[in-house]
Amino acid sequence: MELWVPITLFAAAMQTVRTGWQKALKTDMDDYAVTWARFGFALPLAPLYLVLLVASGLALPVVNSQFFTAAAIAGVLQIIATIMLVALFSRREFAVCTAFSKTEAVQVALLGSLFFGEDLSLLGMYGVALGGIGIALMLPRGGSWQTAAIGICSGTAFALTGLFVRQAIFALGDADPLAAAAMTLAVMLLLQTLLLGIVLCFRSGAPFRRLWQARGHALAVGVSGFLGSIGWATAFALTNPAYVKTLAQVELPLAYVLGRTVFREKLRPLEIIAMSICAIAAIVVAFV
């Protein structure tokens, strides 16, 4: 089993935890404030992680304009994707919201192949296609197509985020994958915290005061989000993002368990079958 596989599994677990905390935080504030918590409370961890890498003997990469451009685009796309995902929490069950956002697995394969020069093996194509079937079964039957559209657009933005993160890492040349991923994440977090922070300054309801009042939940969002992001960025540095995002569909059964045990949600049998198909697709891709 290649190194990117356990790293991706760790990232998926951390993302499930982060998304669960975001749903809990959503009860106290709006989508923008909940999204800022992911970036703002994670930002102090980025320089600490860079220091740890340097102390371990790794050299930090030399950045350039191509890197900054790709990292900035990835950062903005991730803001958009996260806001749309958080908006879904008031519309559907936690697990279903997660499933809609996971359309990124198919989208990252298509977009990566068409526009970013990423190749897929035959087995990888089968895995991604199987994941697409599972996601298709999640689409509403007589439900809200607006909700589905938001979820799929969120998946598109997440898919493009992953592809531009990989472009940013490529721009750093032959830098160590851990150092390149850490530098990319640090730049993204700084940009995201500043941009979304400016937006919050013009929103009503004293969002920063409310975030401070809910700092326990907000810190949990930030820490789990940071750990997950380090995992994603490192995995993107090691292999095709399509494989990473398809394997990441193991997050779906995790989301189902969290939805049942924490949020007391119930899913339709077809939704459970769809998540199982996505999990099988993840296993296929894990052994590409």
Q: How far apart (Å, rounded) are the C-alpha atoms in residues 116 and 231?
A: 21
Per-residue pLDDT tens for 181-201?
Answer: 999 999 999 999 999 999 999
Per-residue pLDDT tens for 110-164?
Answer: 788 778 887 777 877 887 788 778 777 766 554 567 777 887 888 899 989 999 9
Q: 153: exposed, middle or buried (C-beta count within 10 Å: 0-12, 13-18, 19+)?
A: middle
How many residues make up the chain in this entry?
A: 288
Per-residue pLDDT tens for 92-108?
Answer: 555 666 666 767 777 77
**What pLDDT, on the 0 to 100 scale, is given for residue 109?**
76
Would the pLDDT of 286 be above 70?
no
**What pLDDT, on the 0 to 100 scale, is given for residue 61?**
94
- Look at residues 134, 77, 96 and name the one whose alpha carbon lies nearest to residue 285: 134
Let me know: does 145 contact 41? Beta carbons within 8 Å: no
Per-residue pLDDT tens for 10-42?
Answer: 998 998 889 889 888 887 788 999 999 999 999
Strands (E), 77-159: none
Cβ-based neighbour number of residue 56 at 10 Å: 9
Would the pLDDT of 257 be above 90?
no
Q: What is the pLDDT averaged over residues 223-249? A: 88
- Look at residues 82, 245, 225, 227 and name the one whose alpha carbon lies nearest to residue 153: 82
- Tokens standing for 88? 């879904």
